[in-house]
A = this chain, B = another copy of it.
Amino acid sequence: MKLYEDDDLFIEREPSEIPWVKIFTRTPYRELSDLPDALRAKLYRACDIVERQMIASFSPDKINIASFGNRLPRVHIHLMARFENDSFFPEPMWGQKQREGSLSLPDFQIFAASLAERLEEAFGSEPV
């Protein structure tokens, strides 16, 4: 499910017990250093907006950010809101499971609506 898209970026939800989104560039690139400077700056700005909205909506214990792409070498950035009682904390979400998570979080759809609003405010309909 796409949470946001414009001519440069799109954002998808990763199905998970935690709030987790992935930001993609519409044009595929292998590494972050391959992006044109203006697009890289916009991608980082989108990360910042997602992080701030995750903090505002969910008050997580920590934000986690990752860019791997080892299976499919295409730049995309994971942003995850982490909680002390999620299934993997303090391990990364790719680490060893620590417990059965017991999260009771605010509605993801309300976060998603606020996030789309923030992104549209920031980027309008103008591409880089």
Q: Is A9 located at the chain interface by the 8 A CB criterion? A: no
* A117–B99 CA distance with the chains assembled, in angstroms: 45
* Cα A92 to Cα B48 with chains together (Å): 23
A14 close to chain B: CB less than 8 A:
no
Binding site for B on A (CB under 8 A): 30-33, 40, 44, 47-48, 51-52, 55, 61-71, 73, 82, 89-92, 94-95
- A40 to chain B: which residues have CB within 8 Å? 44, 48
Query: With contacts A62-B73, A64-B67, A70-B89 known, what are 11 further pairs, Cβ within 8 A?
Result: A32-B63, A32-B65, A33-B48, A61-B73, A63-B67, A65-B65, A65-B67, A66-B67, A66-B92, A71-B90, A95-B95
Contact A52 B66 (CB under 8 A): no
Contact A64 B55 (CB under 8 A): no
Is A70's CB under 8 angstroms from B82's CB? yes
What would 24 A/B residue contacts be, using CB atoms closer than 8 Å?
Answer: A30-B62, A31-B55, A31-B62, A32-B63, A33-B55, A40-B48, A61-B70, A62-B68, A62-B70, A62-B73, A64-B66, A65-B66, A65-B67, A65-B68, A66-B66, A66-B68, A66-B92, A70-B89, A70-B91, A71-B90, A92-B92, A92-B94, A94-B95, A95-B95
